[in-house]
């Protein structure tokens, strides 16, 4: 069983009172407990099981503007006492930083916790195995699927308590059910792998096993016998599983830490047109049962909804207490990053989007880490499918796609097929005129 | 030997008993106990931004029968908790029965000292060092607008208890010194990143003002990139510099030679042992036995002593990298490549220090032979798709080559290729083999482990360069 709030509170109290006794002026603490159980299946046979029980504490102590942190998984009182000692000693010799402080008391979360973030459903290992075997069975019913890289089912339950010396003390349980199926297709000497993945807070919301298996198989088969194409300038369609990555890049480019340091291509762009006028981006933490929903951030600050981009114009940054002070802004509850971040739907249907030009390249996978947040340069490896006259024609691989995010953001057109499958979600995306590197 | 369990509620005798009783009907398995202390101090934007100390203690209990692995880990070290884990393992393997293989090689290998790199340098002197690095880097030029410097030290003590009571242990120090410099000139911003490290005390890496060289190098890369022009796109010849660019070898071939992917036949190399997979003159090894290197280990995380494993010899594929499970299922021996990120993770075959040995050509000859191509000196990160063999890299320092001469620096170039075919496209192997500065972390299935790489300069006939210039 995961530990209850009383247990977590007891650990928090030991550390907070000890820190105070040793002379810290302020302190904050996070205590976490989680249990996860995972089952892996390969070629329809049990490959492994994994059970994890995790406990952890993270303590930050302050002496005026001096600060230090410790973390530990060993919650024995003798060990905690030793670590608090160490934290205080280090804190005393760490130089002052004028921006160090606990968060504003007035911004602390207080309110109802009614977002439904915990599903107490527990699946036995047998049930997990059956689910994932059914997914693999379905994938193998496609005769081009010859092997699996492994498929898995995971159930995670966690509980945490966040407290600080300004009187904040709150926490709650969350759950996550995850399943993936990764298969290998083979035909005419070509071997390809692909996957499908589903992850939700409630067991009843995840994909049904048959869907999971058949989507994974379909992806892997469509990649077979790819061609390499000539280097050219061409418009791209990004599949939903890739288009959402542009939102993650956008989020890191407007984090207050990057803004404060000037290490982002979106510095000084507040109230300016960053995307074209059709584009709206929101970050909402209050969607019931959603993966990214939360009541407060890692500092205890209540989450407010943010319209980050309105008609293409940048309205806000993602702000925490420390970096907020550097840029003279109050925290908007984003010390743990974004919540449910998404592009609003565009006005075109998927079919209109893929018919919008005679020749388009549909990108289903990117590999590599080719995003430079500082200057906006973007260059990654990719594979996908060529679209000719609105029809998917042949798979393409071993190419690169490159551009600069300042331009890419201005040239986005979105379809109207947004779904809330992850914490960051995007409709299918069309980007005009990018450079493809090939033969 | 004093056990890591000595201060816990679990006696070593009780642990032995539960381990033996759980594993005697399995093919393999062990109790892995880990005590890790780590410290990270970061200077950012002119301030000591954070000093974090972490103390992590836990166990991972593994039972293996056939090709099924049951794993349970916890950081509550008690008889009750271990019993729960034992029940969990038994329920997974209830339909299987095996014969425990108690054979494991012994070693007195001592590749690094049993030191605690966190305690061997005072907090005051660490903070002073970071401040000096910041000031020195900023004093290099007024174009330096942002500096981030960090110190990371770790002491990981591990203990492996096998069925029958055999106990194996290793104490592993690790440090890393990192520097990142952002330069702004004429409205352009570029960064340069450099780092050093390995399994010794900080002071070994700080001798002769070595920290200044780390700052110099980060600044040099940033300053080079500020003058860079857009990268060309298309197929061309590529000259790779020595040392760190060997992460290309790590991605393009290393992962494809790990035992698990080959046992499962999902690697493009799975049926190529004994066959020619690379140009003549290409020899690639994975060596866990080099003194003080980041990827070196006395024993791997299953207790097997590490070794120098020849993967490809003069172009011919010789061996895969194995842990105990995959070795047993492929009828061979573990090569000491069984590794895990921590007690929270299952063992997999992983690389240690992956190195292409030197040849006879000079870098000068390689560049001279290229009419149009690029010279890649350093990479950011890379990734590979084992099944299709496609890999990708992002250059952090690269130049164009025109008519046999190195030209202007180019920015944001991505290299993409096919592992098995690019090995055959190696035209020249340099005589300047070099190891990387000690900064690599390899990711696989969500687990990161420290690794090393090394290679001489290489000339590759044909790779696709991704850029914005057609």
Comparing C-alpha atoms, which of B298, B340, B320, B312 is closest to residue B448?
B340
Determine the average pLDDT of the residues in B17-36: 96
Task: Give A197-201's long-range contacts (Cβ < 8 A, gap of 24+).
Answer: A198/A421, A199/A291, A199/A422, A200/A176, A200/A289, A200/A291, A201/A116, A201/A117, A201/A118, A201/A119, A201/A174, A201/A175, A201/A176, A201/A177, A201/A289, A201/A290, A201/A291
Residue partners of A238: CB distance under 8 A and separation at least 6: A246, A363, A426, A428, A429, A430, A431
- A67 touching chain B per CB within 8 A: yes
Comparing C-alpha atoms, which of A363, A194, A365, A54 is closest to residue B56?
A54
Do the domain assignments include residue B91? no
Q: Which residues pair with B52 in a beta bridge?
A: A69, B40
Please state the pTM of the whole predicted model: 0.93
Do the domain assignments include residue B307? yes
The alpha carbon of B266 is separated from its chain's Cα centroid by a whole number of angstroms, namely: 22
Determine the average pLDDT of the residues in B124-147: 97
Confidence of residue B97 (pLDDT cuts 50, 70, 90): confident
Comparing C-alpha atoms, which of B246, B254, B133, B256 is closest to residue B195?
B133
Q: Which two tokens stand for residue A326?
A: 């550097």
Determine the average pLDDT of the residues in A395-412: 95
Do the domain assignments include residue B257? yes
Confidence of residue B102 (pLDDT cuts 50, 70, 90): confident
pLDDT score recorded for residue B9: 85
Interchain CB distance below 8 Å, B71 and A48:
yes
Contacts with A, B 285-344, CB within 8 Å = 344
- A94 touching chain B per CB within 8 A: yes
Do the domain assignments include residue B362? yes
pLDDT score recorded for residue A21: 96
User: Which residue of chain B is at minimal alpha-carbon distance from A97?
Assistant: B47
Residues constituting chain A: 439
Which residues on chain A are in Cβ contact (under 8 Å) with B72? 50-52
pLDDT score recorded for residue A1: 85
Beta strands in A131-280, from DSSP E residues, in sequence order? 145-164, 169-170, 173-187, 190-200, 232-238
| Contact predicate A259/A326, CB 8 Å | no
Do the domain assignments include residue B294? yes
User: Which residue of chain B is at minimal alpha-carbon distance from A233?
Assistant: B470
Query: Does residue B390 carry a pLDDT above 90?
Result: no
As for how many domains chain B has, the answer is 1
User: Which residue of chain B is at minimal alpha-carbon distance from A72?
Assistant: B55
Contacts with B, A 73-92, CB within 8 Å = 73-75, 79, 83, 86-87, 89-90
The DSSP code for A3 is P
Confidence of residue B1 (pLDDT cuts 50, 70, 90): low
pLDDT score recorded for residue B2: 63
| Contact predicate A331/A299, CB 8 Å | yes
Counting residues of chain A whose pLDDT is more than 70, the rounded percentage is: 100
Confidence of residue A288 (pLDDT cuts 50, 70, 90): very high
Confidence of residue B61 (pLDDT cuts 50, 70, 90): very high
Confidence of residue B226 (pLDDT cuts 50, 70, 90): very high
Do the domain assignments include residue B448? yes
Which of B32, B64, B347, B412 to mutate: most A Cβ within 10 Å? B412
| Contact predicate B417/B385, CB 8 Å | no
Determine the average pLDDT of the residues in B66-73: 96
How many beta-carbon contacts under 8 Å exist across A and B?
245
- Helix orientation angle between A77-93 and A5-21, rounded to the nearest 10 degrees: 40
Interchain CB distance below 8 Å, A191 and B146:
no
Residues constituting chain B: 470
Determine the average pLDDT of the residues in B34-53: 95
| Contact predicate B129/B150, CB 8 Å | no
Average model confidence (pLDDT) across chain B: 94
- A50 touching chain B per CB within 8 A: yes
User: Which residue of chain A is at minimal alpha-carbon distance from B96?
Assistant: A46
B269: containing domain: 234-466
Which residues on chain B are in Cβ contact (under 8 Å) with A92? none
Interchain CB distance below 8 Å, A70 and B55:
yes
User: Which residue of chain B is at minimal alpha-carbon distance from A128?
Assistant: B92
Place of tokens 């995007």: A426
Which residues on chain A are in Cβ contact (under 8 Å) with B146? 261-263
pLDDT digits (tens, 9 = 90+) for B275-318: 999 999 999 999 999 999 999 999 999 999 999 999 999 999 99
- A184 touching chain B per CB within 8 A: yes
Q: Is B131 helix (H, G, I), strand (E, B) or coil?
A: helix
| Contact predicate B345/B447, CB 8 Å | yes
- Residue A281's CB is within 10 A of a number of other CB atoms, namely 25
Question: What are the structural domains of chain A?
Answer: 5-33+50-104 (3.30.2290.10), 125-222 (3.30.2290.10), 226-439 (no CATH)
Counting residues of chain A whose pLDDT is more than 90, the rounded percentage is: 96
Confidence of residue B385 (pLDDT cuts 50, 70, 90): confident
In A202-227, which positions are buried (b, 16+ CB within 10 angstroms) versus exposed (e)?
Answer: ebebbbebeebbbbbbbbbbbbbebe
Do the domain assignments include residue B416? yes
pLDDT score recorded for residue B73: 97
Determine the average pLDDT of the residues in A102-129: 95
pLDDT score recorded for residue B419: 86
| Contact predicate A117/A293, CB 8 Å | yes
Average model confidence (pLDDT) across chain A: 96
pLDDT score recorded for residue B268: 87
Longest dimension (CA), chain B: 72
pLDDT score recorded for residue B167: 93
């Amino acid at each position: 069983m995961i530990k209850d709030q009383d247990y977590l509170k007891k650990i928090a109290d030991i550390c907070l009172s000890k820190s105070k006794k040793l002379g810290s002026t302020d302190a904050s603490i996070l205590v976490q407990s989680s249990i996860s159980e995972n089952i892996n299946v390969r070629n329809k046979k049990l490959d492994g099981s994994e059970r994890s029980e995790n406990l952890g504490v993270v303590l930050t102590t302050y002496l005026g503007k001096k600060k230090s942190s410790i973390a530990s998984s060993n919650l024995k009182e003798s060990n905690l006492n030793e670590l608090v000692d160490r934290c205080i000693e280090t804190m005393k010799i760490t130089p002052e930083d004028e921006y160090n402080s606990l968060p504003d008391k007035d911004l602390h979360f207080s309110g109802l916790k009614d977002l439904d973030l915990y599903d107490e459903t527990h699946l036995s290992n047998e049930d997990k195995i059956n689910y994932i075997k059914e997914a693999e069975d379905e994938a193998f019913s496609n005769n081009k699927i010859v092997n699996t890289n492994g498929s898995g089912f995971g159930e995670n339950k966690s509980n945490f308590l966040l407290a600080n010396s300004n009187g904040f003390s709150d926490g709650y349980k969350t759950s996550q059910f995850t399943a993936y199926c990764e298969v290998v297709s083979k035909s005419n000497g070509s071997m390809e792998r692909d996957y499908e993945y589903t992850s939700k807070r409630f067991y009843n919301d995840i994909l049904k096993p048959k869907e999971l298996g058949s989507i994974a198989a379909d992806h892997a088969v469509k990649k077979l016998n790819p061609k390499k194409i000539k280097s050219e300038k061409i418009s791209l369609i990004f599949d939903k599983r890739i288009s959402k990555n542009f939102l993650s890049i956008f989020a890191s480019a407007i984090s207050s830490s990057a803004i404060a340091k000037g290490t982002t291509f979106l510095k000084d762009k507040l109230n300016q047109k960053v995307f074209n006028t059709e584009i709206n981006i929101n970050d909402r933490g209050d969607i019931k049962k959603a993966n990214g929903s939360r009541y407060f951030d890692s500092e205890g600050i209540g989450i407010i909804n943010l319209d980050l981009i309105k008609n293409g114009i940048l309205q806000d940054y993602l702000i925490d207490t420390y970096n907020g002070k550097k840029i003279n802004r109050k925290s908007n509850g984003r010390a743990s990053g974004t919540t449910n971040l998404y592009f609003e739907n565009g006005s075109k249907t998927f079919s209109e989007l893929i018919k919008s030009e005679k020749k388009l390249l549909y990108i289903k996978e990117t590999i590599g880490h080719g995003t430079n947040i500082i200057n906006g340069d973007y260059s990654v490896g990719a594979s996908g499918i060529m679209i000719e006259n609105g029809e998917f024609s042949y798979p393409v691989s071993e190419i690169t796609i490159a551009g600069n995010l300042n331009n890419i953001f201005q040239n986005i057109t979105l379809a109207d097929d947004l779904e809330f499958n992850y914490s960051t979600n995007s409709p299918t995306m069309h980007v005009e005129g990018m450079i493809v590197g090939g033969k | 030997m004093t056990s890591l369990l000595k201060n816990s509620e679990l006696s070593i005798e009780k642990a032995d008993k539960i381990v033996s009783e759980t594993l005697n009907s399995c093919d393999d398995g062990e109790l892995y106990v880990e005590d890790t202390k780590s410290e990270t101090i970061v200077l950012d934007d002119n301030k000591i931004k954070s000093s974090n100390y972490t103390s992590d203690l836990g166990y991972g209990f593994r039972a293996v029968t056939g090709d099924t692995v049951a794993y349970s880990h916890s950081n509550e070290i008690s008889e009750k908790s271990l019993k729960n884990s034992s029940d969990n393992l038994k329920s997974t393997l209830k339909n299987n029965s095996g014969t425990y293989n108690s054979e494991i090689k012994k070693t007195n290998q001592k590749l690094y000292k049993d030191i605690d790199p966190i305690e061997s340098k005072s907090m005051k002197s660490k903070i002073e060092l970071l401040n000096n690095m910041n000031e020195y880097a900023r004093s290099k030029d007024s174009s330096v607008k942002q500096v981030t410097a960090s110190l990371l030290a770790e002491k990981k003590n591990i203990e492996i208890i096998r069925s029958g009571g055999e106990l194996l242990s290793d104490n592993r120090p690790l440090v890393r010194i990192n520097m990142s410099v952002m330069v702004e000139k004429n409205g352009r911003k570029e960064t340069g990143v450099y780092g050093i490290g390995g399994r010794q005390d900080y002071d070994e890496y700080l001798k002769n003002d070595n920290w200044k060289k780390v700052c110099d190098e980060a600044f040099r890369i940033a300053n080079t990139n500020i003058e860079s022009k857009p990268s060309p796109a298309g197929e061309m010849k590529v000259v790779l510099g020595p040392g760190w660019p060997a992460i290309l070898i790590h991605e393009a071939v290393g992962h494809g030679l790990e035992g698990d992917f080959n046992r499962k036949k999902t690697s493009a190399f799975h049926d190529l042992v004994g066959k020619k997979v690379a140009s003549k003159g290409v020899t690639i090894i994975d060596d866990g036995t080099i003194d003080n290197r980041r990827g070196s280990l006395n024993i791997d995380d299953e207790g097997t002593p590490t070794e120098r494993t020849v993967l490809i010899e003069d172009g011919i594929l010789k061996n895969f990298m194995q842990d105990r499970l995959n070795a047993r299922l492929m009828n061979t021996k573990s090569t000491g490549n069984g590794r895990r990120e921590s007690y929270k993770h299952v063992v997999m075959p992983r690389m240690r220090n992956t190195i292409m040995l030197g040849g006879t050509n000079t870098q000068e000859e390689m560049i001279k032979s290229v009419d149009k191509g690029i010279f890649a000196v350093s990479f950011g990160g890379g990734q590979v798709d084992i099944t299709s063999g496609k890999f990708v890299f992002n250059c952090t320092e690269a130049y164009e080559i025109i008519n046999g001469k190195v030209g202007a620096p180019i920015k944001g170039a991505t290299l993409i290729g096919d592992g098995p075919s690019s090995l055959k496209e190696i035209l020249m192997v340099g005589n300047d083999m070099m190891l990387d500065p000690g900064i690599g972390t390899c990711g696989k299935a969500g687990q990161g482990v420290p690794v090393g790489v090394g290679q001489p300069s290489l000339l590759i006939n044909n790779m696709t360069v991704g850029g914005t210039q057609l």
